[in-house]
Amino acid sequence: MTTQLKVREILSGGQKAEGITEEIERTGMILRQRGGHAWPSRYAWLLVELPNHRELRVLAERVDEQSGDVVRVRFKHLFPEHRRLLDEILAPAA
């Protein structure tokens, strides 16, 4: 699904980064970071701001190189309620 949602890094030892999703799927997403922020490790907790003031928290694994502002991540963990939210936004419109 191609959509633009705001993404923030959370619980990152004081480092803050923001970005916008370019694409989001059930298994991961592509996001464009502001300022090409370098990840301190390959994992980060991300907060995706969904429509209607909802939030999706994911443990994300960066699966591409550490350069550039476009980042591909794989979802390593979603809590069950966040998995349901993701499934809801990815469901085809009836």
**25-53 tens-digit pLDDT:** 999 999 888 776 677 788 989 999 988 88
Residue 13 vs residue 75, higher pLDDT: 75
Q: How confident is the model at residue 79 (pLDDT cuts 50, 70, 90)?
A: very high
What is the rounded distance in angstroms from the CA atom of residue 28 to the CA atom of residue 26?
A: 6
Cβ-Cβ contacts under 8 Å for 52 (sequence gap 6 or more): none
Q: What is the pLDDT of residue 93?
A: 63
Residue 81 vs residue 4, higher pLDDT: 81
Q: What is the pLDDT of residue 82?
A: 94
- Per the CB < 8 A criterion, the answer to whether 44 and 33 are in contact is no
For residue 28, how far is the Cα from the chain centroid? 7
CA nearest to 2, candidates 33, 30, 32, 40:
30
DSSP-based three-state secondary structure for 16: coil
| Mean pLDDT, residues 57-74 | 85
Q: How confident is the model at residue 91 (pLDDT cuts 50, 70, 90)?
A: confident
Strand (E) positions, the chain? 6-10, 18-24, 28-33, 43-50, 54-62, 70-78
In percent, how much of the chain has pLDDT > 90? 39
Average pLDDT of the residues of the chain: 84
Report the run of H or E that residue 81 belongs to, with start and end: helix 80-90
Structural domains of the chain ordered from first start: 6-90 (2.40.10.220)
